[in-house]
Chains A and B, each alone.
Chain A
Amino acid sequence: MSSATTTVPPRAVAPPGRLRAALRRPAARKLLLLGAVTAVLAPFAAARWGSGAWPDALTVDLAGPLGRANDWIIDNRDGHWLFLYFFGHISNAIITAVRGVYLVLLALGWAGVTAGASLLAWRLAGVRAAVTALASFAVCGLLGMWVPTMRTLALMIVAVAASVAVGALLGLAAGLSDRTFRALRPVLDTMQALPAFAYLLPVVLVFGIGVAPAVLATVVYAAPPMARLTAMGLRGTDQGVLEAVDSLGATGRQRLLTARLPLARRELLLGVNQSIMMALSMAVIASVIGADGLGDRVYQALSTVDVGSALAAGIPIVLLAIVLDRTTAGHRSVGNRSAGRNGWAQSHPRTRTRTLTTWAVTAAAVVALGRLVGANSWPDGWTVAIAGPVNEAKDWMVDHLYSGIPGIGGTADWAAHYTGWVLDPLRDGLQGLPWWGALMIVAALAWLIGTWRTTVTAVLSLAAIGVLGRWNLAMDTLSQVLAAVVVTLVLGFAVAVVAARSPRVDRLLRPVLDVFQTMPQFVYLIPVVALFGIGRAPAAAAAIVYALPAVVRIVSQGLRQADPAALESARSLGATGGQQLRQVQFPLARAELLLAVNQAVVLVLSVVIIGGLVGGGALGYEVVFGLAQGDLATGLMAGTAIACLGLMLDRVTQPTKPKEG
């Protein structure tokens, strides 16, 4: 926005010679063209429909039809063949599967599950992961969260299995067929840019509230990364190897099984890891639509601002995330090792059989142990109730830290200032902006950064929000997103520059970033509620903390990857550190910087939306409200608006593809 408003006026007053020179730049030409279009269309549009917020004449009321559709679905859910023979079966299969897995986990008992998870982690990722798993499950039990943890785990196992299967199949199709790839890629790109909340409403519309829609939403959310990475892995196969395989007379099947899939191993494993992390994130959020387990506990606790209980349920979520990530990411490093030196696949067939036997025996022993210890669930006597103490601590914080600290104020003061001095003016500004002006600004930004395709998508998405009649709410959300993105980028770039310059800072930062990046969005809400209370400011804080690690990581990686030869030559010319950064590292890392902005926008939006649960208001709250009131039409329209907003923000910040290479 700033670039549009600051670059146009000087050009208008520039002398003719400079004007012509400026016109030769494509950016200037694009802006001029847009300016001309605006000059022609804007007065007309303003005269026809009025300025200010999105005109009522251009909205389409979907609430009625959607409400009727919802009613029809509710009425026919038990009778219509579509539900009886299709959706019903899907729903039943999911419920049965989750229940089955849950019963198995219960049958294994707490000792069995803990030991089994540790052994699995050991096998896949080594001793450290095993210890992490052991400790984490023990802590889950100690916190009195054993049963919810198992419920979440059961849901996760089913959802991950399904999303890996679906993702792998889609990825296989896209990897082998160019046409499928071209068709699928924009869909996957878009799906990954949408906030999790946007996925909830459509499944609820069809399946109602419960475990089945929760699993389905999770699968829809978690399958894209698997599909994407599978396709990338298959398509990235070294052409030379494939040619050699062909020259030996391999059939298509042999080619796939002996060359393409093994060569894509790393991407496949990464895909599984990503799917698992996405699934956990969604499985927790899906508590809003009836998934029980840890997420539900957090959700219930947050709705009564019971920070202690939320924390007791939030810690297991974090631990689960860490265990799952360490275990499956360790798999990745084992893959590297076997590609280099002594992998399992290389070992002699006899040793392999022996290893399998050992594993079978160990597994049997674990089950036996679980049964012997007796209790299916964690013993009640071994739990530590942390909710009480935590809430006391929180009350102390409310009394002592929220406000009135001499000189620096307090957290509640900060939140109030942020809301009053940043968010409110920004929101009023955006809502006061004429609707055609907003469209043009979006068009200008998208066109400058990306291509005309991204521009069209972005403008249409924004217009769709207006048509849905969610203009003001979307502007509210947008103001929260923009403010949080600016803070994220300023902090993120600063930290990244430091990390890129100092290996020690980088070393210290890395494990922290690792942990932060594995945590589901939902748990970030717990500490910010404790610190800032309820409102838009804590939502923004959670969004910033959530998006920061990704930005830091991408930017510092981009800065560090700058061609050492270019840096060396800059140094040899006597460039200072600042000059090197400005003139060499930043320009060379342009693609990464743009990617960081894009990621910041996408990630911040996803949390700002969830912020609706802690008083963030706007679109996120509409979804929650719609779900809580059973008013699906409202929720669905807000959900669509969220998707449109996500699409718009993603496209506006999407850099042109060829320039990345």
Chain B
Amino acid sequence: MPTVDTNAESLNAHVASDRNEPETAAPVFSVRNLWKVFGPKAERVPGSDLADLSPEELREKTGCTVAVRDVSFDVRPGECFVVMGLSGSGKSTLVRCLTRLIEPTSGTIAIDGEDVRGMDKGALRDLRRHRAAMVFQHFGLLPHRTVLDNVAYGLEIQGVGKAERRAKAAEMVEKVGLAGLEARRPGQLSGGQQQRVGLARALAADPEVLLFDEPFSALDPLIRRDMQEEVVRLNRDEGRTMVFITHDLSEALRVGDRIALMRGGRVVQCGTPEEIVGSPADDYVRDFVRDVPREQVLTVRRAMRPVRSAGEAEAGAALNPATTVADAIEAVARTGAPARVVDAGRCLGIVDFKSLLSIVAGLDRIPGRVHSLKKAAA
């Protein structure tokens, strides 16, 4: 079924051109060839032969550990950019490098085209105060302050007057659903509530970008779900740009517009959830996404086959290309007939039982296997 492959490629290109419009939307964060090496004389490692050594060899030889290895990506305005990886993959280090909470070893970071690594102390403080706010896994709240004063803390640091910052903080507390708990101390709140305080504190400064470092990993599953929805809402409704670190694939798929998958400090694949699940770049990613319910992530764009007859393009239910396969199955099952994939009045393709089921069955997953199956059928 080579058609599937070509379809997928053109579709990827389409998605990419859809989102990637450099002339209209310059990236918020632009990271190029970023390295972070821990250890003595770390600056000699990036770009040298040393970088090609295995982590064990490198540690033995130089005492250094590479946490982030030659990473490049752009974060576009209004998107939620997820960096995902298992523990030790360098994702938390990466996000800290963005505001230089950890000083990068080499590479460039730009925020709105402005070089972050070249900033002096004052400019960097300004960046942290007004442009990028961070939410932490372990909250990082001040235990001796009330909820309200914790939320107002960022503003206090900026030098905002007491009345003003308290008013703003009260608004944020209300917004994250903690109204009535203003006078409590962090120690008296549940984990989920504490993280809401953390979120409110980050929001209070009205930053351009929100950075989340595994914000919900310490929470129990139900609360985690609530918080994820909160984040999605902030992203959709307020158009906040976000960089979201997580080790949880389902979380990444739920909140992410694009996902960068990290392993051993390197980004092994960067793309939409559909690209990651649908076209894993290598065996590692494939292994990673194996248990994902594909029909809930992949869309009909990927499942559709070309229109074979003029009649097909006219009849049947019309589906948006962004419809998930799961929803399409429901529509097709209801009507009992193939459905059309329609974008702006133009029929892009057809989904029927066979094409939808082959997605569920994962037949599109391994091109070789599809070919061999096809050959066997022929």
CA distance A247 to B127 in the complex (A): 9
- Would you call B242 an interface residue if the criterion is a C-beta within 8 Å of the partner chain's C-beta atoms? no
Give the nearest-CB partner of B99 in chain A.
A247
Contacts of A240 on B, CB cut-off 8 Å?
Answer: 136, 138-140
The residue in chain B whose Cβ has the minimal distance to the Cβ of A342 is B183
Interchain CA distance A544-B142 in the complex, whole Å:
44
Which chain A residues border B142 with CB–CB below 8 Å? 241, 245, 258-259, 262-263
Q: Which residues of B contact A262 (CB under 8 A)?
A: 142, 144
> Does A249 belong to the interface (CB within 8 Å)?
yes
Instruction: Answer yes or no: A254 CB below 8 A from chain B CBs.
Output: yes
- How far is A247 from B211 in the complex, measured between Cα atoms in Å? 10
Which residues of B are found within 8 Å of A244, using beta-carbon distances? 134, 136, 139-141, 198
List residues of chain B with CB within 8 A of the CB of A590: none
A339 contacts partner chain B, Cβ-Cβ < 8 Å: yes
Cα A249 to Cα B159 with chains together (Å): 11
Is A572's CB within 8 Å of the partner chain B? no
- Is B250 located at the chain interface by the 8 A CB criterion? no
Q: Does B87 make an interface contact (CB < 8 A)?
A: no
In contact, B101 and A248 (Cβ under 8 angstroms): no
* Interface-lining segment among B150-158, B272-280, B336-344: B150-158
Partner of A250, one of B136, B143, B157, B201: B157
Count B interface residues, CB 8 Å. Answer: 33
For the complex, what is the distance from the CA of A262 to the CA of B149, rounded to whole Å? 14
Q: With A240-B140, A241-B142, A263-B143 as known contacts, state yes or no: A254 contacts B101, CB within 8 Å.
A: no
Residue of A245, A247, A254 with most chain B CB atoms under a 10 A cut-off: A247
* Interface 0/1 of A212-241, CB less than 8 Å to B: 000000000000000000000000001011
Query: Are B128 and A247 interface neighbours, CB within 8 A?
Result: yes
- Who on chain B is nearest to A248 by CB? B154
B133 within 8 A of A: yes
- A254-289 CB mask vs B (1 if < 8 Å, else 0) is 100011001101000000000000000000000000
Report whether A241 and B128 are in contact in the complex, using a CB–CB cutoff of 8 Å.
Answer: no
Most buried by A among B128, B144, B158: B144
Residue A629 interfacial (CB < 8 Å): no
A246 at interface by CB-CB < 8 Å: yes
Q: How far is the CB of B165 from chain A (nearest CB, A)?
A: 12
A598-628 vs B: 1/0 string, CB under 8 Å?
Answer: 0000000000000000000000000000000
Q: Give the distance in Å from the alpha carbon of A333 to the alpha carbon of B94 in the complex.
A: 42
Q: How far is the CB of B18 from the nearest CB of chain A, in Å?
A: 33
Residue of A nearest to B150 (CB): A244
Decide: A247 near B101, CB < 8 A? Known: A241-B140, A340-B188. yes
Q: How far is the CB of B314 from chain A (nearest CB, A)?
A: 57
Asked whether any CB of chain A lies closer than 8 Å to the CB of B205, the reply is yes
> Chain A contact residues: over half helix, strand or loop, or mixed?
helix
With A251-B125, A339-B144 known to touch, is A246 a contact of B101 (CB < 8 Å)?
yes
- A247: which B residues are within 8 A, CB to CB? 99, 101, 128, 133-134, 136, 140, 211
Q: Which residue of A lies closest to B158 (CB)?
A: A249
Residue of B nearest to A242 (CB): B140
B129: Cβ under 8 A from any A Cβ: yes
Q: Is the CB of A249 within 8 A of B125?
A: yes
B126 in the interface (beta carbon within 8 A): yes
Check if B365 is an interface residue, CB within 8 A of chain A: no
A-B contact count (CB 8 A): 79
Q: Does B185 contact A (CB under 8 A)?
A: yes
A-side contacts of B205, CB under 8 Å: 248
Expressed in whole angstroms, the Cα–Cα distance for A263 and B144 within the complex equals: 7
Given contacts A248-B129, A249-B128, A340-B185, contact A243 B101 (CB under 8 A): yes
Question: Residues of A contacting B158 with CB < 8 Å?
Answer: 249
| C-alpha gap A254/B153 in the complex (Å) | 11
B191-214: CB near A (< 8 Å → 1, else 0) gives 000000010010001000001000
Q: Does A346 contact B (CB under 8 A)?
A: yes
User: Which among A241, A263, A346 is the interface contact of B183 at CB below 8 angstroms?
Assistant: A346
The reply to whether A243 and B157 form a contact with Cβ atoms under 8 Å apart is no
B126-185 interface with A by 8 A CB criterion: 126-130, 133-134, 136, 138-144, 146, 153-154, 156-158, 183, 185
Inter-chain CA distance A262–B144, complex, in Å, is 7
Is B63 interfacial (CB 8 A cutoff)?
Answer: no
Q: Which of B126, B130, B136 contacts A243 (CB 8 A)?
A: B136
Check A340/B134 contact, CB under 8 A, given A245-B140, A247-B101, A251-B125.
Answer: no
**Nearest Cβ distance between residue A607 and chain B, in whole angstroms?**
40
B118 an interface residue at 8 Å Cβ cutoff?
no
Does B306 reach chain A (CB closer than 8 Å)?
A: no
Say whether B187 faces chain A, with CB atoms less than 8 Å apart. Answer: yes
**CB contact between A340 and one of B156, B157, B187 (< 8 Å): that residue:** B187
In contact, A248 and B153 (Cβ under 8 angstroms): yes
The interface residues of chain A lying within 8 Å CB-to-CB of B187 are: 339-340
CB of A351 to closest CB in B, whole Å:
14
Q: Is the CB of B136 within 8 A of A346?
A: no
**What is the CA–CA distance of A245 and B154 in the complex, to the nearest angstrom?**
8
Does A339 lie within 8 Å of B141, measured CB to CB?
no
Q: Which residues of B contact A263 (CB under 8 A)?
A: 142-144
Q: Give the complex CA separation of A338 and B185 in angstroms.
A: 10
Residue of A nearest to B184 (CB): A341
The residues of A that contact B153 with a CB separation of less than 8 Å are: 245, 248, 258
Contacts of B126 in A (CB 8 A): 249
Query: How distant is the Cα of A346 from the Cα of B183 in the complex, in angstroms?
Result: 8
**Which chain B residues lie closer than 8 Å to A248 at the CB level?**
128-129, 133, 153-154, 157, 201, 205
Are A346 and B139 closer than 8 Å at their CB atoms? no
A658 to chain B, nearest CB (A): 20
- Given contacts A246-B101, A248-B205, A346-B146, list 5 more A-B pairs with CB under 8 A: A240-B139, A243-B140, A249-B126, A249-B158, A341-B188
Q: What are 21 A-to-B residue pairs whose CB atoms are below 8 Å?
A: A240-B136, A240-B138, A240-B140, A241-B142, A244-B139, A244-B140, A246-B101, A247-B140, A248-B128, A249-B128, A249-B129, A249-B157, A250-B125, A251-B157, A258-B156, A258-B157, A262-B142, A262-B144, A265-B144, A338-B144, A339-B187
Interface set of B (CB-CB < 8 Å, partner A): 99, 101, 124-130, 133-134, 136, 138-144, 146, 153-154, 156-158, 183, 185, 187-188, 198, 201, 205, 211
Show the binding face of A for B, using Cβ within 8 Å.
238, 240-241, 243-251, 254, 258-259, 262-263, 265, 338-341, 345-346
Which 5 residue pairs are nearest across A and B when measured between Cβ atoms? A244-B140, A249-B128, A249-B129, A247-B134, A249-B125
